[in-house]
A = this chain, B = another copy of it.
Amino acid sequence: MKIYISDQIPKQIRTNLPKDNVTYLNSSSITKADLKEIQVAWGYDHHVQSLLDTPHHQLKWIQSFSAGIDYFPKQQLTDQKITLTNTSGVHSEAIANTVLLYALYFMRDMNLALNMRRQKQWDGSRHYEELTLLSNKKWLIFGTGHIGQEIAREAKALGGYTTGVNHSGHAATNFDDTVADNAYSNIIQDADIIVNILPLTPETTHMFDHQFFNQLEHLYLFINVGRGPSVDTSALMQALDDGRVKHAALDVFEEEPLASDSPLWDYPQVLITPHNSAVSSEMLPGVQDVFVHNLQTFLKDGHPDTNIVDLTRGY
């Protein structure tokens, strides 16, 4: 059986894969003839798209590299009855650790420390009002899946109170409380930190818009570790200008890479990371495990076992 490994998959996890009855192809070795024989693809690149566009192809299953799968041609996968699996669960700790870093960066006034280093000039004055702590902070976390739950667990362990937002308001592990996504307007002014970790769907596109930010009065920190297009960037900048949002930490953007002329770079109260909140040396074995486990099931039963995406919901 032929399996295509896309350019998205790092070298480190292309070794130690199951060998029996399997031929692995990559972007250097794939030929036009292979397009009609490949049954499995790991990750997404233009060859995977060519595969999907090839009449009478044999592709049955794609294992994504990421947890979010918004960049896949979902309608085409649905029409062609291709199973898509994601890596949901593998990135939770890295993202949650990064969220803590974002919060602590502002709470411990790292801008002051780093300006001090730039100028090689000690500032010993005591900025009591600028320095705060994680305990007793109220978190409002949009998304209560694996990643949201791990963010909530860590925030709670450090003394925070966590409210999760999901579609129905159903209870979720590690959250003190949950509300439905149409019922948070009476608690939003109390939040200290808002985190978005929702998948990108038509419903979540520009969910954080002018109307959303206008409900806030003095939010300490807005964090986006979900997907960039969920936030209307101009509305966020307006909220920062108005002081409705004091700080923001963004790992994802409406357009990536973030352009050099984006005004976001000029906000000292905005922390920008290059869509790497989920990345860690520890993640790669986890990503490989999901693929290998699903491949073994696929070879035996003809379909993958875990992390199957509901293409209608989009996650």
A313 to chain B, nearest CB (A): 28
- Contacts of A28 on B, CB cut-off 8 Å? none
> Chain A interface mostly helix, strand, loop or mixed?
loop
A258 to chain B, nearest CB (A): 5
Instruction: Contacts A133-B94, A272-B113, A276-B131 given; indicate if A104 touches B107 (C-beta within 8 A).
Output: no
Instruction: Contacts A108-B101, A158-B97 given; indicate if A10 touches B126 (C-beta within 8 A).
Output: yes
A4 to B101, CA, bound (A): 41
Whether the pair A113, B279 counts as a contact (CB closer than 8 A) is no
Whether the pair B281, A126 counts as a contact (CB closer than 8 A) is no
A122 to B255, CA, bound (A): 11
Per a CB cutoff under 8 Å, which of B100, B108, B124, B280 touches A257?
A: B124
The count of identical subunits is 2
Q: Size of chain A's interface in residues, with CB distance under 8 A?
A: 57
Whether the pair B276, A126 counts as a contact (CB closer than 8 A) is yes
A104 to chain B, nearest CB (A): 4
- B-contact 0/1 string along A253-269, CB 8 Å cutoff: 00011101110010000
A308 to chain B, nearest CB (A): 26
Whether the pair A128, B256 counts as a contact (CB closer than 8 A) is no
What are the 7 A-B residue pairs with the smallest beta carbon separation, nearest first? A122-B257, A157-B157, A101-B104, A120-B265, A120-B260, A131-B280, A113-B273
